[in-house]
Amino acid sequence: MSPTMIAPVVVEENNRYQKGVKHLCDNGLTKVPTKYIWPEPDRPIFTKSDKLTKPKQNLKLPIIDFAELLGPNRSHVLRTIAEACETYGFFQVVNHGMGGDVSRNMIEVCKKFFELPYEERSKYMTSDMSAPVRYGTSFNQNKDNVFCWRDFLKLYAHPLPDYLPYWPSSPSDFRSLAATYATETREMFEMMVKAIMESLEIDGDDNEAAKELKEGSQMVVVNCYPPCPEPELTLGMPPHSDYGFLTLLLQDDVEGLQILYRDEWVTIDPIPGSFVINVGDHLEIFSNGRYKSVLHRVLVNSTKPRISVASLHSFPLTSVVKPSPKLIDEHNQPQYMDTDFATFLQYISTREPKWKNFLESRKIHI
């Protein structure tokens, strides 16, 4: 085949992948396309029988009971939060006050969205990262050399009245259920901020950072991971850290989330009704490195679809993020440069985002 004949074929193939992995699967797929096959060192570790080689047991993250946080054991719970943020960068929250129907409804309506015809979902497909609603695929489909086995729906969510009219109108109850979910996760985030500040021994009564975070950004990201015919060859999401301050993750009952702990990838057990909360890059910077924004990734499987809903929270997009002045003294110099959202956008527009490259680029090397 001549080069002039190959070029249109390559373009057509790329266009097919840009439509997302759900579209591929809906049209029948028995093998993973080359576009999704990761280099061997980056793949999940499987045995010759194609079964995932797991640690002897999945990692059980520290569990924070919100009811305890609001009771007489608050100081003990705050110590547990501090230890979790320092050691794992992750913890799970139970008894968080969100009704089970709110979280269940959110998972179900998101499943229904991804079951809509491609033509309906594709209405929200755009490469504009500032769009109030963005449907897409992979991790960063405009930059990824190898694609991830993931489609997503990203919704800006604060201030909610500004963005709600742009959210999908189908399924018919999507906006109302997702708005309730976004509102309640925001309330949970504000309670977590108070606890995080206290755990860092930062006075909550005179805390400009807490006030900024109360007015800060919120993005709800719905992730869809269809069953994969060859899960040993690909990833649902590559190793990465989260850009913001805190991420609140709701999962269905299908495992897939892994974190890098002591240089090994370990799977997190989903606890029904719980939220997984993780430290983002902004909190690592704000805590001057005390709390860790930890690498995590997502595995896929051959039998079950997986849905997760991440609520990413941080400072307003116009804010400058820097180590808290209350954590800096002659013995603790700033470990990170000041940063803002514009710097982040510029960074990811020029390279393929992976690992903790952006955070590493903000470190001060003395």
**Count of CB atoms situated within 10 Å of the CB of 145:** 7
pLDDT, residue 29, reads 87
At CA 109, angle to CA 104 and CA 110, rounded to 5? 100
**Residue among 17, 79, 36 at smallest CA distance from 238:** 36
Give bridge partners of residue 142 from the DSSP assignment: none
Cα separation, 248 vs 128, whole angstroms: 24
**Residue among 180, 294, 302 at smallest CA distance from 230:** 302
pTM to 2 decimal places: 0.90
Q: pLDDT of the chain along its 366 residues, tens only?
A: 544 444 444 445 567 788 999 999 988 888 999 999 999 989 997 544 444 554 445 888 999 999 999 899 999 999 999 999 999 999 999 999 898 899 999 999 999 999 999 999 999 998 887 899 999 998 777 778 899 999 999 999 999 999 999 999 999 999 999 999 999 999 999 999 999 999 999 976 558 899 999 999 999 999 999 999 999 999 999 999 998 999 999 999 999 999 999 989 999 988 888 999 999 999 999 999 999 999 999 999 999 999 999 999 999 988 999 999 999 998 889 999 999 877 877 776 665 555 567 888 889 876
Query: 276 and 64 in contact (C-beta within 8 Å)?
Result: no
117: tokens are 């015809």
**CA–CA distances in Å: residue 358 to residues 182, 243, 287, 336, 362:** 27, 8, 17, 11, 7
pLDDT, residue 28, reads 84
All domains in the chain, ordered by first residue = 61-360 (2.60.120.330)
Cα separation, 210 vs 212, whole angstroms: 5
Give me the sign of the Cα torsion angle 164, 167, 169, 172.
negative
**Residue among 222, 215, 171, 163 at smallest CA distance from 189:** 215
pLDDT, residue 10, reads 47
User: Which position has the token pair 């979910």?
Assistant: 181
Cα separation, 89 vs 95, whole angstroms: 20
The one-letter amino acid at 261: Y
